Amino acid sequence: MKRKILIVTERRADFSRFKPIIKLIKKSNSLSYDLIVTGIHLHKNFGYTKKEIIDEKFKIFAEFKIFDKDYFEKNDGAKMSEAVGKAFINLPNIIERSKPDIILSGFDIAANFALSVCGAHMNIPVAHIQGGEVSGTIDESLRHAMSKFSNFHFTATKETKKRLIKMGEINKNIFVVGCPSIDALKQEENEKPEYIKKRFNIDISKDYILIIQHPVTSELNQVNKQFIETIEALKNIKMKKLFVFPNNDAGSLKIIKLIKKYNFNYCKTLSLKEYKTLLQNSKALVGNSSSGIHEAATFKIPVVNIGTRQEGRTKSINVLDTNYNRHQILKVLKKALSLTFKSKLKNLKNPYGNGKASRRIISIIKKLKLKNFNTQKKITY
């Protein structure tokens, strides 16, 4: 009988990392998967990205909504909490129907957090991807909490493995594999230049900048001010720009309204193929997306990382940090766009991996001894 893996995806950020893993599961003779779809995958305002899952011919085992109309109107911490609650309410029944051998949760996203906690309560082994990383916003707390509810860990770096050991996790259950989002991007083909031009009004043969800035949930009252500083800095760069809508965290509507107010060139979401093409041909990625930390180094793209959202994460030399001040952002962006800085990135290696994380994860899952596995956890110190 095949070993069944249960996975939930809520948004483009987790799906892009699960995608290469699910592809390998589909090819395996000893593994199967049940995929749960929720979150902004089911909402047209964020591009209805469930379509991308269907296009990949991934079988959807179950789906449920956690975001209602009120969520998108109020867009605050209380509504985020309600959304997590809905995940907790819906998941136990789905888990009982699925009867998985192991749950594969990931990163720092609410539905994945709920799945980890439910798995622990239901005595199902939980494996967590990319624990031990440090960052800002609510993601930091969610990620570490998920690690404490997980039995096995697939970390991106040796440094993050050491951090999990300090948190009391068992050394032999922590595996350094890299970041699967790198796998996903490397596996994608490039989109045709004509398509990119028509869809996004971007000529990839000419200079342009990508902007992805998410709200920081612990700085909600400053979201508008922070994003305006980014806008004012970018006004001084005479180069094409493409703004990508932020995720759906509390405060995201404020950023979306500003993007629309200033009549910027924008898109709601990007497929992996579109994102790969736009990222690797851009002159810089500006904002606070984790993609700037995890993936941009693979393509040797300069990153202007603004504010506290990625604070504490391991960064390559292509990442330049700045605060929310427009003059400082502009100064750092000019440095990032300079030929001198670009020349320093020629031999850059990505500390988050080489595109083989998914293969390592699947190989390890196949070997895990899960029969009569004791899910009871105990801190090691």
Distances (CA, A) of 266 to 185, 241, 258, 342: 21, 8, 11, 26
Residues 61 and 101 in one domain: yes
Task: Look up the domain containing 253 and give its range.
Answer: 190-343
Domain containing residue 79: CATH number: 3.40.50.2000
Residues 85 and 205 in one domain: no
Residues 262 and 319 in one domain: yes
Q: Which residues contact 191 (CB under 8 A, 6 or more apart)?
A: 273, 274, 276, 277
The number of distinct structural domains making up the chain is 2
In a domain, 257, yes or no: yes
What residues of the chain score a pLDDT lower than 50? none
CA distance 289 to 252: 13
Residue 342 pLDDT = 96
In a domain, 242, yes or no: yes
In a domain, 348, yes or no: no
Tokens of 194: 């004509």
Residues 32 and 168 in one domain: yes
Residues 53 and 121 in one domain: yes
Residue with tokens 């970390």: 155
Whole-structure pTM value:
0.94
Residues 15 and 164 in one domain: yes
Residues 167 and 21 in one domain: yes
Residues 170 and 80 in one domain: yes
Residue 331 pLDDT = 98
In a domain, 381, yes or no: no
Residue with tokens 């993050």: 160
In a domain, 207, yes or no: yes
Residue 189 pLDDT = 95
Residues 159 and 202 in one domain: no
CA distance 32 to 1: 10
In a domain, 380, yes or no: no
In a domain, 379, yes or no: no
Residue 47 pLDDT = 83
Residues 202 and 153 in one domain: no
In a domain, 230, yes or no: yes
Residues 228 and 114 in one domain: no
